[in-house]
Structure 1
């Protein structure tokens, strides 16, 4: 069987599984040897003391005379009040002293009956040890020692004896491993999520950090970076193509206007030549706006920077206010603050400027611009008191080359690209834009942009 490599996610899960299994196996092997309730050998210093005690008892029995049980009774009652108890049996396991039923002793005798290898075992709070040889006349007695176990049970014994504590202990041991596994899984996942959010905001940047971590996420990160690079090249190529086409169209258009001017000079003014010149002028204006749009959008995602609302729009608002005054109109705007905004400055300035200049152009005498920060977004409303836009056409004014069928038509001189440029710029910055009827009577355009944290 081929084992998974630890650099993969499955490999890490496999490693944790085997580590847990090894801990369980080692526990099953070692715990019985550490459990005092199982039979163990007696530590050497304690074994030596008990054997010396058994020899002293044998010496006293040799010096004293009288019934054996009476003499043994004196030894069995000597240290009982101190938490010790001596037991004496024959080599056949018959209890000589003390008399009475003793389940722990009888059980221990069946497992430890050779003085050549004394053992000890814990029964509740009573530790039994033995047997120890006590020579007596031509025979040998066996001595067992019982003492009260004053030490608290080992920690793992208390854990194993109580299921709830065992569950809590298991959770305590496994939690660090599970947290490490969760961290190892979610860290590259969070990186991938953050990269996807950046792409959604129009930031087509390759992130080398995505190609680190478990093998599965490393492969996904590499594919994601390839996708971002392909999108970047495709968008840039499309925008450059638009720019190149616009440039190429300007040359024949310039020659057409020159030819029209020469014709007017030779033949004089005529309605036909005037119409050709007017349409050529409009076409040139349209191409100029297309060039402006392409210049702003080519690699715009690579020209993002952190700025603030005051730096972005204050000068533009002051210029627009002056322009409105020259037209006999009033432009009012709420004070700007240093609200943080991340994006392409030229696109953001142009987007709001197009809306405001439309309001100045089509409003009667009042234009109002309102900035409203709320939580993590900034809302901007631009209103005028002009004729407005018919309700069915409110959603269409952001389409390229669309003109409203009433006042805002070809006779007004517009190309229908201004609001389309604004809509594209706002969407590139993860914002929204929509039009509605203004309380002032004209058009109200509402823009929302995310604020940078």
Structure 2
């Protein structure tokens, strides 16, 4: 059975891209590729536009300078060729040019600038209007775009090489970093998967990093501690329950064997009474165990509704008075309503009252009150009380503080455990304090019913 706790899911057959590591690397690659791809396109476009704008401004400045020279000289002939690309137009016709290789598109495009091909080379022309001797002329100054195109092409090639390399590096770096970050998580997973049902005492090594991984390991250790405590409590509960059930069975079997071997020594009425008493004790114990099991599962009965707690206390006071032997004070019982399961809360009141009656010397005092938000139930006795250091234990299962008592006098040790669990599932609390009568006082606090 211990091997069942060692089951480790087979991860070898799983698609590798479904791992957190692969998805993180793939996500980073896609994000970086998209960002750099779009960024590169935008950068190349802006870079090209900036260089072209500079060429255009240079050509426009030259066209303006030549136009000023012609206007000042009142000439219609361009300056001597010094390597510049200049054209003089009149009504779209070429009047003069510095290079016979200059071929303009027909008709000449309108606008401040345009691109034309000169000797198989792209040239940007800027225009400037002027008037000489009553003639409307246009000066065109050209600047080659070869260097601009070469620079843009070089940048494009560099980005085309650099972007994929950078994307691959980012993906590899993400793969390595995520792998190293998740390595402790994988170690924790492997250690937990190897734990068997009988190895809950083992703990995960907590790395001294102080980060989320360290907190995860600490949380896993806390969980293992809670599971170990629950397992220990369950085993102790089973052991105690077995011991409690064995006692009445042993008594019944002993009387039955004696009656079988020596019929003349055992009175039939005595045998019948013993079997009935031990059977009733077993029934009460089994019912208590079943109730505790249901409370552990969170069950709170068939349904909750508003009920009067004072009625429950007054009913128990009447029951104790009918038995006699103790003075029952119930003058402090005031009207109070809660939302809850009536059978379970009646069990709480009866267990507390029976516990008080069992330990009281002469007086049991019952009381309840409500402030609109909560209901306070008190059950007090004038018995020996409970030492402060032992008060937390009285709500544990199968706990009897007075081990010298007989089981008949001391009960099964489940009554106060049932009280604590029922109050807990109803959203309340129970505490044990000193009573004004000199004994013990149990105080139960429950949320008040909105109807009250």
Q: TM-score range by the shorter chain?
A: 0.3 to 0.5
TM-score when normalising by structure 2: 0.44
Normalization by structure 1: what TM-score? 0.44
